[in-house]
Chains A and B, each alone.
Chain A
Amino acid sequence: MRGKYAHELQSGDEYEPLEFLVTPDLNQQFLYAVEDFNPIFLEGIGGKPPLVHPVLLMHMSPRTRSPSYRQAPGMGSAFARDRSVYFNPAYVGSKLRVAWKVIKTYEQRGKIYQDYVALVLDENGNDILCREIASTFFTLGKVKTYALGEAK
C-alpha cells in the first residue's frame, strides 16, 4: 500500500511485494556475514543448486524491504518477536517474491504494535518461508529502546 506511513497501516493492509534474484554472489555474501560455509549452501546436494541460506531469507523478509515501506519522520520501529516456518528449500539462481500483510495493530504503553505476516515464495509459487513478526513503532526520544531497529 503506497502513500501511507507504515504505522498507519491496519489489519488487512498489505505492503507492496518485493522480487529479487538470489545470485551465487548474494548467497555467498550472507554466508560470509554469518560465517557458515556448510557445503549445502555452496555446492548443493543431489545435483541441485546450492540452497539459499536462511539468513538471506530472514534478511529479505522484514516489511522494511517492501518498496512501499515508509517510516514517518521522528518515529522508530523495532522488532519484538518472530515465528518462522520453513516449508520448502530455496535454491540459488531462483527468483523469490516476498509479500507482506498486516494482521493486527494495537497500542500499548505509548507504542504502536503491528503484527504482520511475511511470505516468501519461489518463482513456481512454492511457499518457502512464512514469518509472523510482531513489531513496534515509537516516537524517537520518548521511549527507551534496546535498539533492535529495523533498518530500511
Chain B
Amino acid sequence: MSVPVLEAKLGQVYAGKTRKLTWARALALSGGPFGTPGWPEKNLHTDLAAAKAAGLSTVVVSGTQWEGYLVGLLVEMIGTAWFNGGQLEIKIPRSVKIDETVQPKARVEAREQEGDRVRIALSVWCENQDSEQVLVGTASCAVPAQGKK
C-alpha cells in the first residue's frame, strides 16, 4: 500500500468526502447490531423521546460517527501503518443533527525522521455544511520510510 502523505508538502490539506448524516447511517452506528430484537435501540442518538429525556431538544448524532470519518481519512493517507502506532487527540466543540453534512480534513504540519521511520504530524478537523468545526485535534503516525516511493 502506498503512503501518499510521505510525498505531501508541509501545509498540504487532505479532505475526505463530504457525508450527509442521515437517519439510516445514524441508526446503523448507534442503534445496535442489525437484527437484534427491538432494533434500533432507543437512545439519545436514535430516538427523540430519549433525547428529550436527556435534556436535549432534538436527536444529535454520535460524535463517534464523524470521528470515524476522520480516522478513515487518516487510513487513506497513511495506510495500514496507522494501525501500528497511529495517535489521535480530539475534542468535539459542536454537535451535529440529522441530515447535516460533515467533511473530515487533515493538514500536514511536520515530518521528522525517526530511525527507519518518518513521523507525520497533522492537524485534523471536521467541518459541517457551514464550515464550522465539529471536531478539532491533532494526529501523528510513524510510517516506514521504505514506503516512500
A residues in contact (CB < 8 Å) with B: 25-26, 29-30, 32-36, 38, 40, 45, 51, 53-55, 58-59, 62, 76, 79-89, 140-141, 145-149, 151-152
Docked Cα-Cα span, A56 to B133, in Å, equals 23
| Nearest CB of A to B8, in Å | 19
* Residue among B30, B55, B65, B71 facing the most chain A CB atoms (10 A cut-off): B55
Contact yes or no, A147 B25, CB < 8 A: no
A-B contact pairs, 25 of them (CB 8 A): A30-B29, A30-B68, A33-B65, A34-B19, A34-B25, A36-B72, A38-B75, A40-B1, A40-B80, A45-B80, A53-B72, A54-B72, A55-B29, A55-B65, A55-B67, A55-B68, A58-B64, A59-B29, A82-B90, A86-B82, A86-B85, A88-B84, A89-B83, A147-B51, A147-B56
Docked Cα-Cα span, A141 to B53, in Å, equals 10
B residues in contact (CB < 8 Å) with A: 1, 17, 19, 25-26, 28-30, 33-35, 41, 43-46, 51, 54-56, 60, 62-65, 67-69, 71-72, 75-76, 80, 82-95
| Nearest CB of B to A46, in Å | 9
* Residue among A26, A36, A147 facing the most chain B CB atoms (10 A cut-off): A147
Contact yes or no, A151 B44, CB < 8 A: yes
Contact yes or no, B95 A148, CB < 8 A: yes
Given contacts A55-B71, A146-B95, A152-B43, contact A33 B63 (CB under 8 A): no
* Residue among B51, B64, B87 facing the most chain A CB atoms (10 A cut-off): B64
Docked Cα-Cα span, A82 to B95, in Å, equals 16
Contact yes or no, A87 B84, CB < 8 A: yes
Contact yes or no, A54 B80, CB < 8 A: no
Residue from B43, B45, B54, B68 within 8 A of A36 (CB atoms): B68
